[in-house]
Chain A
């Protein structure tokens, strides 16, 4: 299979054009669409969408997997050019929202991100790769620049808080790797977030009785 990866400067120009003309308005339209789909669901803290900015895209496109470049066709292979996130209160809320995702969106991937071993703590969250609904695609856009999928993440407040903080202090390519103590402290904060989620879920189940309304 021929490698059709564009040169770096061409890739940047191509992505920048797509980012301005399509991805930014697409992210806005998707935010409204998702908000409409999840309207009325309790305990949603926020729904947000974003178009992946040019530097993040280029950094991801440069990623190495073993000895080879991970993405030979980054414009096609990177599936989170548009991303959406729903933050909710409790872990059982994630399962409820999952049902709505399955009902209204077509997924080609759905995955619970958890650390590899039960002895580890790190990133937790539910991720999906979903077909971009045609409702949010402007017919005037050049279809060759419209991504086919977007990434949706559903997380609890504690999962979200941990991943945001970790994103800033955790390992960054080109910088010194974290030492063992730093890694352990990060894992400790993840364990605390996991514990807080668990206790809140237990309290929610014990204390909050849904009020039934007859319709």
Chain B
């Protein structure tokens, strides 16, 4: 059986609180209904956890991360006490506006790989109903922990070396696009001391270049228009954290349009990677750069290809631009 240890801790939010009490924890037996639930979370984590994250280095650039250190210490010798340090860290990074959480550490071995799934169930209240042949009893329940709430969070780490690996993981955080929520950043940024593996500029530039390649590809005009419309709407995504597939779904792109965009990527799997949309980066790639000279000439080209298309030379206080190509279109445009 791949799962070797499971520990559970009740974690009170304590950020900014001076309460120094430690979270209570328990071993979870490796059989029974509780185990079945944990095992399902562990097994499905490879698909469920879909946000690639990487531990941050120290502010002065050293290859060290406090949260990773706790994780590695726990994985080297999983014990209730070692896991408690992780639970304490979660408590200290969760502020009082968040509810109580139930933290699970599920440790396993998959071939040569060590694997850990860290899962936080948020608390809720519920009504328990029992139906008997002639009666119905209802009971109000507090401290019910639910996986399917929108604030459920988890992270998966799987690697071979406890000395050198475990820098990259995959997370679930359904609150990442609620920037107004006080809790929106605490899981990945504060608790895990991590960032998205794909930087904002890297992800946005991939997307912008894929859109551009799609527009220049041999596809029907109506599909091109659809993609052009999506490009115009994309500037409204500033700061949103999503994958290219999620953006395509948000704009209701048709199947042919989605296929054309994905074809513009180096490989289709890149469309699943989450990044924070950088509007300036997007504009710098999708936009056109235009230079006007005092002799009446206006030169226009896609902004990131401008210097490639026009060879520039400085001659005293004047600039000479040279370009060569086959004329494919000619337009007359009225002055605005």
Contact = CB atoms under 8 A, between A and B. Distances in A.
Contact of A72 (B163, B199, B291): B163
B163 A76 contact: yes
A72 to B, nearest CB: 7
A131 B199 CA distance: 11
A214 B161 contact: no
Interface stretch (B57-65, B175-183, B229-237, B327-335): B57-65
B267 interface: yes
Interface string A187-211: 0000000000000000000000001
B138 interface: no
Interface residues of A, number: 32
Interface residues on B, range: 35 or more
Contact of A133 (B164, B202, B292): B202
B289 A215 contact: yes
A77 B291 CA distance: 50
Contact of B76 (A1, A4, A133, A148): A1
B76 A135 contact: no
Most A C-beta atoms less than 10 A away, residue of B76, B202, B291, B303 = B202
Nearest to B76: A1
B152 to A, nearest CB: 26
A129 B65 CA distance: 14
Contacts of B167: 108, 131, 148-149
Contact of A131 (B76, B164, B168): B168
B284 to A, nearest CB: 10
Nearest to A144: B160
B4 interface: no
B162 A109 contact: no
A213 to B, nearest CB: 6
A60 interface: no
Interface of A: 1, 4, 39-40, 72-73, 76-77, 79, 103-111, 129, 131, 133-136, 139, 144, 148-149, 211, 213-215
Given A76-B165, A104-B205, A106-B54, 12 more contacts: A1-B162, A77-B164, A104-B201, A105-B202, A108-B167, A111-B61, A111-B62, A131-B168, A139-B267, A148-B167, A211-B314, A214-B292
